[in-house]
Structure 1
Amino acid sequence: MASVSCLFQQLISFGEILGLQINVSKSSIYFGGVSDSIRHSILANTGFAEGSFPFRYLGVPLSPHRLLASQFSPLLHKLESAVNGWLGRNLSYAGRAELLKSVLYGMVQFWLNIFPFPEVVIKHVTSICRNFLWTGNTLQSKSALVKWHTVCLPKSEGGLGFFDFKARNNSFLAKLIWNIHLKSDSIWINWVHQYYLQSSSIWDITAHSTSSPLWKSTILFRNSLFDLCGGHPQSLSLMALWNSSKGAFSANAYDYLRFRSSQVHWRRVIWEPWSLPRFSFIMWLAILGRLRTRDRLRFIQNNSTCIFCHVEDESHTHLFFGCQWTSLLWNRIKQWLHITRNMSTLDKAVRALCKSGSGVVGRMKRISLAITVYIIWEERNKRIFDGSCSTIASLFRNFQTRFYTVLHFHEDDHFSFQFG
């Protein structure tokens, strides 16, 4: 009661200084965990009306209790409305991925930073993002080309660098708990330590110390953080490592909580910064062997013959380096770029170009591999679905056009770099 009276008097003093007055009819006060006598006393002293939970603040519902899955519906509707408003089918995979990172993930992250997400909500949000990435809308669902946990890996580990919603949510919750322990510049945290923790550490308190609801919540938060760390005895040292590491606490926590995989050797080639995103994305699918080549579609069609040579079955290995027809294009491009290394497979080509320098010539050679893979895949699809057919000379000119477009965008003095 004393805290409320103090805050109310400060609000009145603030209004008197600025010449303002409290509008009681537009003001509400919300209660949680107080007795009826205190509640009636506060209402009588302030003259405010009692509000009811949940109510919306800064676009999110606030409640003294854990939000139900149904109360996340505003977020889900907002995500679905955003996706349905985009012409996803007319976007490339790379374009959809960029929209996910820059728009949808921004919407979700605001909520992740505030509330613990129920598992069903996390699955629903993941489904929206996954369906949009692979189909262009939320209503259509089909087999994803790459598993979602792989998509959420960093690029250095073979993913796209998306964040995992559950691990991200847990990292933000861990930060809130850590703030209770160390964030001494916060007035609320100082109040918690003064009236409840006193000289005790959040890690030393016990469930039998007091019956205070805040104390019980602190114990629950502390135990939750241990759970997030896997319940290991080294949790305290691990949390100290999070705090002492370079970068933000939540970033360090997320890096520990997320699914991990081994480093890949092809990141430098596929994710060359100068390359266009649509080239890199198709190259990423190709190196993972996840493009829908005919050998992977035998369950829905009988014809698995290569559309170029009409001799062998179409597969990733055959399509990009084993086919006699596409080999002619590769040889012409290699000759033009003065590449003499053996590139009999996509993996060997990537390993060879990983060793190219960091200068303009080295960068453009790495980009050339992604451009060539993209052109071959594009021509393959045109022949199957449009019935069109381009010659080797036409595709080589197409390659040169895209090559010099990238070079001109990144290098002003591109005339000093002559190939061929």
Structure 2
Amino acid sequence: MVFVEGSKESIEGDLSVFDEFSVWSGLSISSEKSTIFKAGISEVERSRILMNFPFAEGDLPVRYLGLPLMTQAMRRQDFLPLLERIRGCISTWTKLKSTGAKMAWKDICKTNQEGGLGIRALKEVNLVYGLKLIWRMLTGNSLWGKWIKTNFLKKKNFWEVNGNAQGCSWIWRNMLNLRDVANTST
């Protein structure tokens, strides 16, 4: 879906961009499948556009992705059909009977050769990325690390800063909780 100013020149400009995209990618728009919708243009401009471009003419309002495209602001009743469809989908999710997991998470985290899916355990991934954040902060090679030192540490030592900081993000608290692990792994 492309929105343009309602003039022949504006449409020509957009089509030239599509032509250039076609040269680069090999993909082109299908004029037969394209529809032009107009709002707020004169009858003369409408005629100029339809005479120069091989697009079908559509009328507003039209539905796109479940919602009507309109020339005025949408009201509550315009959203209701979509909301009801969403509610219907959600209600079917809650009515499904759970039979339990078909496979234990520890088995899913095994390698493919061991019969698992090769997915890494989330606790392990969280630990690794937490330690990586500590390393980035301490080496000072990242803008983020410099920001943390300036705003959170404020010239204090990371290893000695108070771990009970209220109002801090969960990432920062996680990093503080990983200090013992990081200290032993160095």
Give your verdict on TM over 0.5. Answer: no
The TM-score bracket by the shorter chain reads 0.3 to 0.5
- Structure 1 length as normaliser, TM-score? 0.19
- Structure 2 length as normaliser, TM-score? 0.40
Return the structure number with greater helix share: 1
